[in-house]
Every structure is written in C-alpha cells, then in structure tokens.
Chains A and B, each alone.
Chain A
Amino acid sequence: GQSLEQPSEVTAVEGAIVQINCTYQTSGFYGLSWYQQHDGGAPTFLSYNGLDGLEETGRFSSFLSRSDSYGYLLLQELQMKDSASYFCARNTNAGKSTFGDGTTLTVKP
C-alpha cells in the first residue's frame, strides 16, 4: 500500500500489550479501518475510526489523530490466536479502501 505505512513485523509474548502504528496520506481520507487476516483466510474487520480519539472493542482498541495523519491498533492481553497479519486501511467517502502492506504479529508463549 503506497499511501499507508505500518511496520512489517511485530513480536510479543502472551498476555502482553502491543501497538501497531499506521501513518497515511490525507488525500481523500475519510476514516481508518483495521483488519485481521490469518494465513489462507479472508480479512475480518476489527475497528474503524472516523473521528479523532480512541475506539474500544474488547481487547482491541484503535486510535486516530487526523492532525497527525496517524492511527494505531492496540491489542491487549495477547493470546496465541492473535498471531496474524494486521492491516490498516484508508477509507474514502465512496467506501473504497486502500490497504497498508500489513504487519505480521507473532505471539510467543
């Protein structure tokens, strides 16, 4: 994804907290989404930020700062099953999404 940047890999241990950052180009920006994808599977929606601030959904939270063109996904109480790829996606008001290159999260015992 040429218009978003996120780290390629992150490693953490079970029970820990991990933050995956995402910076994006502002042209046509409407909101930022986060998706999880396990190997061989389709992406599943995690969270969306249309306004600045924090959105909390269980163990996952997402944050957006429009002035900084920056957002992050926060995963708490990490579990082994959280090992997957995480994508931030920039949404336009037409509903089109452009995906980042993804961050591979490895959770270790």
Chain B
Amino acid sequence: GAVVSQHPSRVICKSGTSVKIECRSLDFQATTMFWYRQFPKQSLMLMATSNEGSKATYEQGVEKDKFLINHASLTLSTLTVTSAHPEDSSFYICSARVRGTVTEAFFGQGTRLTVV
C-alpha cells in the first residue's frame, strides 16, 4: 500500500512557541491531505483539508490563524501550531488518498505534541 510519512513522531515544546509537523506521501501524489486531532480515548476530529497550491479548508471551530497549513507540493503538507498552549497537547495525524481515489486513506504515524 501507499506510504505516508509524518514527522516528528513526538515533540515537546514550551508554551508560546510554534511547532511544525510535516506530512509526506512517499510513493504517490496527493493533491489533498487531511489533518486530524485526537485526544486520548476520543475519536479523530478533522481539523482541515489541505489542498495543493491553494488555501486549506478549515472545519468549523478550528482557528486558521493558529493552525497554519501549507501544501506546497503534491507530496508535502505541513501543519504549524502557532503560539502553542497546553490545551493544544494532542495526537495530530495526517492522511492522504491516492489522487483520484475516494476509498482507502493512508495515515501518517501521528505526532504526539506536548506543550509544557
């Protein structure tokens, strides 16, 4: 199957700093990638849809100025958590589908963010 690589897998940062998370499709092109957040024992909540070459589409209630998404190429999307607060501590996961498909989504390994 297709591979999505997410980096870093774990990060600890201080309150007020920014953290960048990368999501790469290694062996396929992804015009669209999706960013999710998951709190312990809860579901995956879609934060935004990242579109190559255009602005991301954010879900209701997600602050676009706080969670900056850039999708500069067909294989890379980045999520930057700006001015991080302890309540931003969560598991962030990206996913992508092979271009032109709507069935199987391939997930990155996830990033465990801890803001102290």
Contact = CB atoms under 8 A, between A and B. Distances in A.
Interface of A: 1, 30-31, 33, 41-45, 48, 50, 87, 91-102
Contacts of B6: 42
Give the residue among B32, B93, B107 with the most A Cβ atoms within 10 A: B107
Please provide the 9 A-B residue pairs with the shortest distance between their CB atoms, ordered closest to farther.
A48-B103, A42-B107, A99-B44, A42-B110, A101-B43, A45-B104, A95-B102, A99-B43, A1-B43
A102 B34 contact: no
B97 A95 contact: yes
Nearest to B109: A42
B75 interface: no
A44 B2 CA distance: 12
Contacts of B106: 45
Contacts of B97: 95
B51 to A, nearest CB: 10
A48 B1 CA distance: 15
B42 interface: yes
A91 B103 contact: yes
Interface string B31-59: 01010100000111110010000000000
How many interface residues does chain B have, given as a range? 20 to 34
Given A42-B93, A97-B34, A91 B43 contact: no
> Dominant SS at the A interface?
loop
B44 A93 contact: no
Contacts of A100: 43
Given A41-B110, A44-B107, A97 B93 contact: no
Given A87-B43, A91-B103, A95-B102, 15 more contacts: A33-B103, A33-B105, A41-B109, A41-B110, A42-B93, A42-B107, A43-B95, A45-B106, A48-B104, A94-B49, A95-B101, A95-B105, A96-B49, A97-B46, A98-B46
Contact of B105 (A41, A97, A102): A97
B81 to A, nearest CB: 18
B46 A96 contact: yes
